[in-house]
């Protein structure tokens, strides 16, 4: 198996090389967009089984956002829901023969971590204003500014390392067992890989929500209570 630090270049668009992970990512994006379009067509007041399943997914995501952040889910539903579904499908794509999950490659996980980093800034400024977001780095006192900046970088980096390490290790274990024991023995491991992929997608999405909520809370203006 190829090293996860290397990527297979399939073709180039000008000076930009297109790797297998990038092409697989594009394919997942197309599938998700097409699936969302197909499932949201002809919504009715009396939901069909398809619509009921879709509403259940949305309600579950909304409930998780509310329980995690304590905020209304509407502003975050699109980003968190898309993040979770993409990582879930990307992790599970290894079940297709000949396919490797793009989340087992460094560039994909780094891009996801950068998206979370940008989302934290976006929602922080949107929820607390530019001044409130910058003020969040002064909590609990201005002396902590360098450490708070470092923390905002390292926590996103930790998400990247966690996702990459878990998905990549799962792919390697299944490949090694398959090469040593044949095709039938790894089936239980593939079932475990399904569960691991779900858990990793859930953890990544929840951590993104926690970081966003923490930024908005820290950036909110404090009020003094009358004694």
Kindly report, residue by residue over 71-98, the tens digit of the pLDDT: 888 889 999 999 999 999 998 887 787 7
Three-state DSSP class for residue 203:
helix
The answer to whether position 42 is within a domain reads yes
Closest CA to 133 of 142, 123, 143, 141: 123
**Cα radius of gyration (the chain):** 20
- Structural domain tally of the chain? 1
Question: How would residue 224 be classed by pLDDT, with cut points 50, 70 and 90?
Answer: very low
The share of the chain scoring above pLDDT 90, in percent, equals 17
The answer to whether position 2 is within a domain reads no
The answer to whether position 4 is within a domain reads no
Question: How would residue 184 be classed by pLDDT, with cut points 50, 70 and 90?
Answer: low
The share of the chain scoring above pLDDT 70, in percent, equals 84
Distance between CA atoms of 99 and 117, rounded to whole angstroms? 28
Q: Which domain holds residue 207?
A: 9-219
Distance between CA atoms of 122 and 131, rounded to whole angstroms? 13
Burial per residue of 166-181, b for 16 or more beta-carbon CB atoms within 10 angstroms, e otherwise: bbbebbeebeeebeee
The pLDDT value given to residue 223: 45
Query: What mean pLDDT, rounded, does the chain reach?
Result: 81
Closest CA to 159 of 197, 104, 200: 200
Residue 193 has pLDDT above 90, yes or no: no
Residue 156 has pLDDT above 50, yes or no: yes
Question: How would residue 32 be classed by pLDDT, with cut points 50, 70 and 90?
Answer: very high
Alpha helices by DSSP H, the chain: 20-39, 49-69, 74-92, 106-135, 145-181, 187-219
The answer to whether position 3 is within a domain reads no
Residue at token pair 């708070």: 148
The answer to whether position 208 is within a domain reads yes
Q: What are phi and psi of 19, to 5 degrees?
A: -90, 170
Question: How would residue 187 be classed by pLDDT, with cut points 50, 70 and 90?
Answer: low
Q: Which structure tokens are listed for 160? A: 């990247």
Q: At what angle do helices 49-69 and 74-92 cross, to 10 degrees?
A: 110
Residue 19 DSSP one-character state: E
The answer to whether position 68 is within a domain reads yes
């Amino acid at each position: 198996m190829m090293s996860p630090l290397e990527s297979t270049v399939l073709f180039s668009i000008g000076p930009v090389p297109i790797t297998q992970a990038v092409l697989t990512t594009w394919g997942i994006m197309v599938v998700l967009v097409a699936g969302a379009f197909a499932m949201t067509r002809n919504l009715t007041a009396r939901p069909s089984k398809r619509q009921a399943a879709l509403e259940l997914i949305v309600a579950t995501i909304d409930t998780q956002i509310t329980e995690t952040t304590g905020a209304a889910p509407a502003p975050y539903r699109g980003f968190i829901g898309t993040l979770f579904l993409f990582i879930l499908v990307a992790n599970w794509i290894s079940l297709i023969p000949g396919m490797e999950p793009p989340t087992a490659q460094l560039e994909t996980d780094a891009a996801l971590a950068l998206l979370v980093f940008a989302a934290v800034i976006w929602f922080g400024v949107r929820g607390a204003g530019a001044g409130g977001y910058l003020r969040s780095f002064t909590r609990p006192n201005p002396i902590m500014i360098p450490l708070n900046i470092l923390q905002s970088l390292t926590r996103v980096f930790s998400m990247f390392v966690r996702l990459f390490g878990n998905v990549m290790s799962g792919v390697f274990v299944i490949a090694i067992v398959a090469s040593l024991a044949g095709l039938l023995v790894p089936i239980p491991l593939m079932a475990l890989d399904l569960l691991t992929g779900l858990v990793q997608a859930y953890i990544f999405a929840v951590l993104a929500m926690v970081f966003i909520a923490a930024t908005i809370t820290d950036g909110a203006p404090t009020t003094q209570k009358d004694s």
